[in-house]
Structure 1
């Protein structure tokens, strides 16, 4: 079995369609169909069956896909080790990030990284957490900058820092009068359970910022009345400042955005799990290259807390 065979079968599995897989692999559909037929003949077993949901792996196909992933991971680890044995500092580091995290982290980390590895090309892919997890799962990225929780089955991660969430609302919202102080904290605290009858402005369900908001609401026993959904934290804060509803945001986002009117921000008690964890994610079975480990260490040094 060849590396190309593994790549072809994994692409068919991911796309669930010969035509879509062929397009992604830059080959013709007949050529991919001939390949699959020949491979199944060699193995004397069927790898995929056609269903209404597209091509679905058989039990043997699932085993082949698992073996293919492991083999690709081992091959890439060997290539990285061989490169380091030969003392070459040329290559590529495939990094994924959300646009927001990238805008904060990369300017700081890239300065020291490129000084250390001037001949390493950094290929940056921006996307949602869900997109980045899929790329990590398929070994298409070496690492990704993102937030927990992870849905990916084939990923490891290293924690960098935790960031508190705040609940944000217009300054004249009556709920602000129910806030209370705690020594040593920059903002007052507010019990989110008191907001059960409020209108909420939330991110879209596939966004990590929304998943953390949903977790807070779940702990507070609230089924939210959602007035607006937006992919932009800045838009959510602007809507909240105009008293269109209340929203949640990471504390570190507060100084980044200008809003039309002043907002009131409040911390939440720890029982609501009102925080998210910034981490560096990587394929679980691949040994990170030396440049990748350096990138991780610099991220921890500059942003860890």
Structure 2
């Protein structure tokens, strides 16, 4: 069965060429098939669209009126198809990423740079937030992908770990002078602690692990950013629980010192997540591939 769209495509081609035979050649159809398509459209619209003459065909007044609209519509469809191809080829489009400030600064920036260098016409839209906030905007469709602290317990999300990170305790020079041997978890919680806010995933991970050891944390300070943890520890306000991989500048320069522990907190992951029920856009797919392959 010939669709209405196919009939209009034939109609526009005949209208442009003023010939059934030329239209047939352009459409790789037989002339009788073209003639039959025009007759079917005229029957469905209950109006004559072409004047038939020995020299060819011409549009009727009604046919000319319809041609303006139909030809515009067909052209718009072609433009739409071309735009889709551009999106697939990553020559245009937008990539919406959810990420926290710390992960963005210490992990994601090199990948953003690498992707932008390869696909400069793709625009970025970056939304900041906590892991829980990012999961919410991800499920609402406000971002395509999100980079978060794991673990995340949400069956609607696909989770892909990207990097393992280690939670450690750090302190300034003043506190380091008083530490002469590795500390147990029970000992370290007796010191003034500086931690992230309780609702953060990374804080919850440390809390939950220490609880399995029978140790409950009661921090002196609860802060909203990783950088503040480092700065508070730097001026000797207490012992800060930080991500080792994101604290290397302070540690390497001797601004802060890693507190020796009798046992390490198990490593956790930072990764990308997206909805299981929604296919990734071409731009999102390529970005995740770059991150997974570490092409930086």
Q: 2:275 corresponds to which residue?
A: 283
Whole-angstrom distance in 2 between the partners of 1:96 and 1:86 = 20
Q: 1:253 corresponds to which residue?
A: 246
Alignment check: 8 A CA contact 2:170 2:256 kept: no
Q: Name which one, 1 or 2, has greater alpha-carbon Rg.
A: 2
Provide Cα deviations, 1:107-127, integer angstroms capped at 9, x if missing partner.
322333234333322211111
Structure 1 residues 264 and 164 mapped into 2: Cα distance closer, same or farther (>3 Å)?
A: closer
Q: 2:96 corresponds to which residue?
A: 94
Deviation at 1:143, TM superposition (A): 0.3
Alignment check: 8 A CA contact 2:168 2:258 kept: no
Whole-angstrom distance in 1 between the partners of 2:179 and 2:136 = 41
Whole-angstrom distance in 1 between the partners of 2:239 and 2:169 = 7
Q: 1:125 corresponds to which residue?
A: 127
With the length of structure 2 as denominator, give the TM-score of the two structures. Answer: 0.61
Provide Cα deviations, 1:238-283, integer angstroms capped at 9, x if missing partner.
333444332211111222458995434336735x43x330101111
Equivalent position to 1:269, from 263, 274, 278:
263
How many residue pairs end up in the alignment? 213
Deviation at 1:295, TM superposition (A): 0.4
Whole-angstrom distance in 2 between the partners of 1:86 and 1:207 = 36
Alignment check: 8 A CA contact 1:175 1:195 kept: no
Deviation at 1:204, TM superposition (A): 0.8
Q: 2:84 corresponds to which residue?
A: 83
Alignment check: 8 A CA contact 2:230 2:247 kept: no
Which sits farther off after the overlay, 230-239 or 292-301?
A: 230-239
Alignment check: 8 A CA contact 1:143 1:282 kept: yes
Q: 1:46 corresponds to which residue?
A: none
Structure 1 residues 91 and 207 mapped into 2: Cα distance closer, same or farther (>3 Å)?
A: same
Structure 1 residues 121 and 159 mapped into 2: Cα distance closer, same or farther (>3 Å)?
A: same
Provide Cα deviations, 1:143-163, integer angstroms capped at 9, x if missing partner.
011110214442111111101
What SS does the aligned partner of 1:150 have?
coil
Q: 2:190 corresponds to which residue?
A: 197
